[in-house]
Amino acid sequence: MKKILEVCQYGDFDIRFNTDIKPEQLKSVIPELPAKIAYAMTTSLWGGNEASVLAMIRSLAIADFAVSVNRKEMIRMLDESSANLARLFKEAQKDFEANGGKIDVFGPGIMPQNIKS
């Protein structure tokens, strides 16, 4: 198991971050990670707390933008990157369904019924 990101609050203003991943040692980890995370968010994230998890992810993104040197450039890059990943996901879903697969979409906080591990 690798710790992708751990964020712990020890006091009102004592927030600490940790990760096991060293992008400077393995350059491919950063380009590969968004697709893996997006896949998890569309499958195994369902545990009943996804709304809280997404709220924390968005809080981290807002804080990152707030301290960014070039906020507009960062937002543009994230917009383009996420649009490309969304396009690839849509294509993969269409291919999956074209080959007989079935995709069920559930809203946040709704657990699928009768799922087997």
State the DSSP H helix or E strand holding residue 8, giving kind and residue range, or none if neither.
Answer: strand 6-11
Instruction: Determine the Cα–Cα distance for residues 25 and 61; give it in Å rounded to an integer.
Output: 24
Whole-angstrom CA distances from 105 to 1, 41, 88, 102 are 28, 12, 17, 10
pLDDT digits (tens, 9 = 90+) for 69-90: 999 999 999 999 999 999 998 8
Asked whether residue 39 carries a pLDDT value surpassing 90, the answer given is no
Write out the two tokens for 81. 């990157």
| Count of positions (residues) in the chain | 117
User: What pTM was computed for the model?
Assistant: 0.72
The pLDDT score that the predictor gives to residue 12 is 93
pLDDT digits (tens, 9 = 90+) for 91-117: 988 998 899 988 776 666 666 666 554
